[in-house]
């Protein structure tokens, strides 16, 4: 049991550089979850910490660190020399003084290098990133984009509420997701419950393997993630100890790079080696042990039916495959989709909205014939060019490169057209929301990161103040999931293809004789039977030949971790010719899986900027959300508190509501400039100032340009520019510019 848990853990994590995965024997079916959203949610991976640590350090920093190490060595050598001189009776005072002066000089030089390095660290990331993030987060919390849940009761780590603007942004992102994926691709959307019985998650592997490794404070019982403690320790040493010898630095960097692949024993050994204790109490820590991340509950009143809150939405689709295939007229390919809440009981959530205990996933399962993964709409995306980071570049220490998607597929960098098609569609989706193209890359999983069954895996990673964050996983999971549920439920989740005419096939059938096996192996019978049945054709024919010639044969049963003797009474192996009318096969599944909260958080960072107020005495916050995403599309401001203006404002509000345009009216007497600033912070793209009863001023948020539009046309103009039928440029061309700046500031 423990062995399997650990195995699961290794599989689930980023492929360990220390422990390449053993290739499992075919009779052992590892319930690997490696390429699943599991990873991407569980592991907030930043390339700085696990895959390409050096690439995030710029060349100046590297050379400064080298100089510093050299200078430190020189200081050490000179100090030794001084000590020796002082201890030697032969040395004269002058030469001692000269050596001491030389040491002082070296130390000064070292300090100067240290200062330069500090300055670079500060500007490169570190503090300036931190300050930027604080600016964004302060605005988000003050404007109720999100707040910690249950705040009046002190909150709960890892749970957040979306307040009105955040909730609207989320709804807009989801509506666009439905339009862009479900509608455009005619996907079958389903809606399954969060409460899930144990058997389903046993089949998927979550019950046994959906774990993180945990250590406990031996005295207080407080729990920590083992890898987090080691990561924090290494990062702190690397950041603070500037004169760390190059060799030590390399060691810590190596640990960070391979951390995700360490076994519980290895993590425990590192904790002991580094003397890591509980962060608050400094108490000793327990050995690391696996903790299942699912929220457990009980279904029904009897207490005998365990259930879990689903850790992903995908399983709801897999278990419905048969019905969905029928609904689709028994035709492949087709895709099913689901948007919904998923849950994971994180050991110690951190990094705000990026690692939470409850989150919204949007998942697509595209079912396809494994023999034909072409996609008829691939040409629509083939000419897209964007940052891609194939495993070759990662392994050779290079950085992501702009590539044409069509080429990446034709060269085989991306495994197949369908996978490529989704990569392209995800690119369009994210950039349409306002994700910065230069801070978006598609990173291929290293072969060691992937489950053995996965054909290929790419993550859409977005760069934000926390580093490169995995926001969408796009995986070709082959037939793994449907196989797992077929095995567990006994319901064949398969597709059919009729042959034009029946074909003759030769098939090997393996029939274990259970009675004989039971007599021989007692409690181990089941494992032996499974291993026999799982033999491939070649192994089976070899065994047949051996049994016929020798009467018995040695056979390795992986799950028993030993060889057993099989006699010819125990199994019948035949090769037969059969006529087949149709091909029955388990479809492959290509799974794009979106962490909606992460995408939204990155969007906030990419949309945020500050600009000086007119008086220049203040920095004003702005979110440059595209209209598609903006929580409120339009504000209405009567210029002054005046009955006529308020009546006009009322009419406009009514027609905006009827057109389904989210809006906000502000009738306070505050200056227009202040009212603009308030709504710029909410990312409202357009403002209507009612400054006459016939026509009004419409102002665009980022350019601050203004046009005059007749009252009875204004709501349709706003609809045009927020629906994306027209651009601001289009309407600017149609209406006179409003040149008075008095209204704006």
Q: Which is nearer to a second copy, 446 or 659 (CB)?
A: 659
Whole-number Å distance between alpha carbons of 263 and 285: 17
Q: Which is nearer to a second copy, 110 or 225 (CB)?
A: 225
In the complex, the smallest distance separating the C-beta of residue 718 from a second copy, rounded to whole angstroms, is 14
Spell out a b/e string for 273-291, using b for 16 or more CB atoms within 10 Å of the CB, else e. Answer: eeebebbeeeeebbebbbb
- Asked if 676 and 687 touch (Cβ cutoff 8 Å), the reply is yes
Among 473, 468, 44, 462, which Cα is nearest to 227's? 44
75 to 114, contacts with a second copy by CB under 8 A? none
Q: Which is nearer to a second copy, 274 or 295 (CB)?
A: 295
Q: Kindly determine how many residues on this chain lie close enough to bind a second copy according to the rule CB under 8 A.
A: 79
Q: Which is nearer to a second copy, 666 or 691 (CB)?
A: 666
In the complex, the smallest distance separating the C-beta of residue 126 from a second copy, rounded to whole angstroms, is 30
**Chosen residue from 181, 325, 343, 601 binding a second copy by CB under 8 A:** 343
Q: Which stretch binds a second copy (CB under 8 A): 48-56, 294-302, 364-372, 552-560?
A: 294-302
622 to 661, contacts with a second copy by CB under 8 A? 657, 660
**Chosen residue from 137, 257, 347, 451 binding a second copy by CB under 8 A:** 347
In the complex, the smallest distance separating the C-beta of residue 702 from a second copy, rounded to whole angstroms, is 24
In the complex, the smallest distance separating the C-beta of residue 600 from a second copy, rounded to whole angstroms, is 11
179 binds a second copy (CB under 8 A): yes
Q: For the purposes of burial, counting CB atoms within 10 Å of the CB of 578, is it exposed (0-12), middle (13-18) or buried (19 or more)? A: exposed
In the complex, the smallest distance separating the C-beta of residue 489 from a second copy, rounded to whole angstroms, is 4
Spell out a b/e string for 6-17, using b for 16 or more CB atoms within 10 Å of the CB, else e. Answer: bbbbbbbbbbbb
- Asked if 266 and 91 touch (Cβ cutoff 8 Å), the reply is no
Q: Which is nearer to a second copy, 31 or 414 (CB)?
A: 31
Whole-number Å distance between alpha carbons of 288 and 270: 11
**Chosen residue from 50, 345, 465, 568 binding a second copy by CB under 8 A:** 345
Among 448, 449, 428, which Cα is nearest to 440's? 428
In the complex, the smallest distance separating the C-beta of residue 372 from a second copy, rounded to whole angstroms, is 19
146 to 175, contacts with a second copy by CB under 8 A? 147, 149-153, 156-157, 159-164, 166-168, 170-171
Q: What are phi and psi of 80, to 5 degrees?
A: -60, -45
- Per-residue mark of binding to a second copy, 410-449 (x: CB under 8 A): ----------------------------------------
- Per-residue mark of binding to a second copy, 111-150 (x: CB under 8 A): --------------------------------xx--x-xx
- Asked if 603 and 626 touch (Cβ cutoff 8 Å), the reply is no
DSSP readout, 390-401? -HHHHHTT---E
Query: Quick one: tokens of 3?
Result: 């062995």
Whole-number Å distance between alpha carbons of 695 and 501: 73
Whole-number Å distance between alpha carbons of 172 and 218: 47
Query: Quick one: tokens of 455?
Result: 């054909």
Whole-number Å distance between alpha carbons of 471 and 46: 12
**Chosen residue from 209, 357, 391, 708 binding a second copy by CB under 8 A:** 357
**Chosen residue from 199, 527, 534, 541 binding a second copy by CB under 8 A:** 199
**Chosen residue from 329, 412, 523, 669 binding a second copy by CB under 8 A:** 329
491 to 530, contacts with a second copy by CB under 8 A? 491, 493
Query: Quick one: tokens of 535?
Result: 């033999």
In the complex, the smallest distance separating the C-beta of residue 34 from a second copy, rounded to whole angstroms, is 23
- Asked if 495 and 552 touch (Cβ cutoff 8 Å), the reply is no
**Chosen residue from 4, 129, 254, 322 binding a second copy by CB under 8 A:** 322
In the complex, the smallest distance separating the C-beta of residue 254 from a second copy, rounded to whole angstroms, is 29
Q: Which is nearer to a second copy, 2 or 153 (CB)?
A: 153
β-strand 562-567 against 552-557: which pairing, if any? Answer: antiparallel
Whole-number Cα distances in Å, 287 to 209, 211, 284, 291: 19, 15, 10, 12
Spell out a b/e string for 157-191, using b for 16 or more CB atoms within 10 Å of the CB, else e. Answer: ebebebbebbebbbebbeebbbebbbeebebbebe
In the complex, the smallest distance separating the C-beta of residue 295 from a second copy, rounded to whole angstroms, is 5
Q: Which is nearer to a second copy, 87 or 301 (CB)?
A: 301
Query: Quick one: tokens of 71?
Result: 């200078």
Q: Which stretch binds a second copy (CB under 8 A): 182-190, 446-454, 461-469, 601-609?
A: 182-190
**Chosen residue from 489, 525, 655, 726 binding a second copy by CB under 8 A:** 489
**Chosen residue from 139, 320, 568, 697 binding a second copy by CB under 8 A:** 320
**Chosen residue from 184, 330, 619, 716 binding a second copy by CB under 8 A:** 184
Please tell me whether the peptide bond between 218 and the residue prior to it is cis, using omega within 30 degrees of 0. no
Whole-number Å distance between alpha carbons of 278 and 284: 6
- Secondary structure element (H or E) that encloses residue 225, with its range: strand 223-225
β-strand 440-444 against 385-389: which pairing, if any? Answer: parallel
**Chosen residue from 37, 261, 268, 316 binding a second copy by CB under 8 A:** 316
Q: In a 3-state reduction of DSSP, which class is residue 126?
A: helix
- Per-residue mark of binding to a second copy, 210-249 (x: CB under 8 A): ----x------xxx--------------------------
Q: Which stretch binds a second copy (CB under 8 A): 131-139, 299-307, 430-438, 683-691?
A: 299-307
In the complex, the smallest distance separating the C-beta of residue 487 from a second copy, rounded to whole angstroms, is 11
296 binds a second copy (CB under 8 A): yes
Q: Is 117 left (phi over 0), alpha (psi -120 to 50) or beta?
A: alpha
In the complex, the smallest distance separating the C-beta of residue 528 from a second copy, rounded to whole angstroms, is 26
- Secondary structure element (H or E) that encloses residue 360, with its range: strand 358-368
Contacts for 229 with CB less than 8 Å, ≥ 6 apart: 215, 271, 276, 279, 285
**Chosen residue from 302, 396, 643, 739 binding a second copy by CB under 8 A:** 302
**Chosen residue from 40, 233, 252, 291 binding a second copy by CB under 8 A:** 291
**Chosen residue from 34, 42, 196, 586 binding a second copy by CB under 8 A:** 196
Angle (CA) 721 723 725, round 5°:
65
In the complex, the smallest distance separating the C-beta of residue 345 from a second copy, rounded to whole angstroms, is 7
Whole-number Å distance between alpha carbons of 559 and 254: 33
654 to 713, contacts with a second copy by CB under 8 A? 657, 660, 662, 664, 668
Q: Which is nearer to a second copy, 275 or 301 (CB)?
A: 301
Q: Which is nearer to a second copy, 341 or 509 (CB)?
A: 341
358 binds a second copy (CB under 8 A): yes
Query: Quick one: tokens of 8?
Result: 């699961």
Query: Quick one: tokens of 132?
Result: 């930027």
In the complex, the smallest distance separating the C-beta of residue 334 from a second copy, rounded to whole angstroms, is 10
Angle (CA) 658 662 664, round 5°:
105
């Amino acid at each position: 049991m423990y062995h399997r848990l650990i195995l699961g853990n290794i599989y689930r994590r980023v492929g360990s550089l220390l422990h390449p995965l053993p290739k499992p024997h075919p009779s052992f079916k590892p319930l690997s979850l490696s390429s699943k959203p599991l990873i991407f949610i569980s592991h907030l991976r930043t390339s700085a910490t696990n895959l390409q640590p050096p690439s995030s350090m710029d060349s100046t920093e590297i050379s400064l660190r080298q100089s510093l190490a050299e200078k430190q060595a020189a200081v050490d050598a000179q100090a030794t020399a001084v000590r020796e001189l002082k201890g030697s009776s032969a040395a004269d005072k002058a030469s001692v003084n000269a050596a001491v002066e030389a040491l002082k000089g070296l130390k000064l030089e070292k300090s100067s290098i240290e200062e330069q390095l500090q300055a670079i660290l500060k500007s490169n990331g570190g503090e300036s990133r931190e300050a930027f993030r604080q600016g964004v987060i302060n605005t988000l919390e003050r404007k109720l984009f999100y707040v910690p849940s249950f705040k009046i009761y002190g909150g709960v780590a890892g749970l957040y509420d979306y307040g009105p603007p955040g909730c609207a942004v989320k709804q807009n992102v989801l509506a666009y997701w439905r339009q862009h994926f479900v509608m455009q691709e005619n996907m079958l959307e389903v809606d399954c419950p969060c409460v899930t019985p144990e058997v389903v998650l046993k089949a998927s592997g979550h019950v046994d393997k959906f774990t993180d490794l945990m250590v406990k404070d031996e005295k207080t019982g407080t729990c920590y993630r083992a890898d987090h403690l080691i990561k924090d320790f290494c990062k702190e040493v690397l950041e603070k100890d500037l004169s760390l010898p190059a060799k030590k630095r390399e060691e810590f960097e190596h640990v960070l790079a391979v951390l995700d692949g360490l076994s519980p024993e290895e993590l425990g050994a590192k904790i002991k080696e580094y003397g890591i204790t509980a962060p608050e109490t400094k108490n000793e820590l327990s050995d690391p042990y696996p903790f299942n991340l699912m929220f457990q509950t009980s279904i029904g009143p009897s207490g005998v039916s365990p259930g879990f809150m689903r850790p992903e939405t995908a399983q709801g689709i897999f278990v419905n495959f048969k019905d969905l295939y029928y609904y689709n007229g028994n035709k492949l390919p087709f895709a099913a989709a689901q948007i919904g809440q998923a849950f994971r009981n994180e050991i110690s959530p951190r990094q705000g909205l990026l690692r939470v205990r409850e989150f919204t996933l949007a998942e697509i399962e595209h079912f396809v014939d494994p023999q034909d993964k072409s996609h008829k709409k691939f040409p629509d995306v083939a000419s897209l060019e964007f940052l891609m980071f194939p495993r070759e570049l990662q392994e050779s220490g290079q950085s992501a490169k702009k590539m044409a998607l069509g080429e990446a597929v034709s060269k085989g960098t991306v495994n197949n057209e369908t996978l490529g098609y989704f990569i392209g569609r995800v690119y369009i989706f994210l950039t349409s929301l306002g994700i910065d193209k230069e801070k978006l890359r598609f990173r291929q999983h290293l072969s060691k990161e992937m489950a053995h069954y996965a054909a290929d895996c790419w993550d859409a990673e977005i760069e934000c103040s926390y580093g490169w964050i995995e926001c969408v996983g796009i995986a070709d999971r082959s037939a793994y999931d449907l196989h797992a549920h077929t095995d567990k439920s006994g319901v064949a989740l398969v597709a059919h293809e009729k042959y034009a005419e029946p074909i003759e096939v030769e098939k090997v059938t393996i029939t274990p004789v259970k009675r004989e096996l039971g007599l021989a192996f007692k409690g181990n019978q089941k494992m032996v039977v499974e291993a026999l049945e799982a033999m491939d054709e070649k192994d089976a024919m070899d065994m047949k030949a051996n049994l016929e010639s020798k009467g018995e044969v040695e056979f390795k049963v992986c799950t028993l971790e030993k060889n057993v003797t099989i006699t010819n009474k125990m199994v019948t192996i035949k090769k037969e010719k059969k006529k087949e009318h149709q091909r029955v096969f388990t479809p492959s599944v290509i799974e794009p899986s979106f962490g909606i909260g992460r995408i939204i958080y990155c969007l906030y960072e990419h949309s945020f900027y500050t600009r000086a107020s007119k008086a220049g005495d203040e920095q004003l916050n702005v979110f440059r959300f595209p209209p598609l995403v903006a929580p409120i599309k339009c504000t209405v401001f009567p210029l002054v508190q005046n009955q006529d203006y308020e009546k006009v404002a009322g009419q406009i509000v009514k027609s905006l509501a009827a057109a389904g345009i989210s809006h906000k009216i502000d009738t306070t007497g505050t200056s227009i400039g202040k009212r603009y600033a308030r709504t710029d912070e909410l990312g409202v793209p357009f403002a209507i100032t009612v400054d006459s009863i016939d026509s009004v001023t419409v102002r665009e948020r980022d350019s601050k340009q203004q046009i005059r539009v007749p009252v009875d046309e204004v709501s349709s103009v706003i609809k045009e520019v927020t629906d994306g039928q027209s651009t601001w440029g289009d309407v600017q061309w149609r209406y006179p510019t409003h040149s008075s700046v008095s209204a704006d500031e």
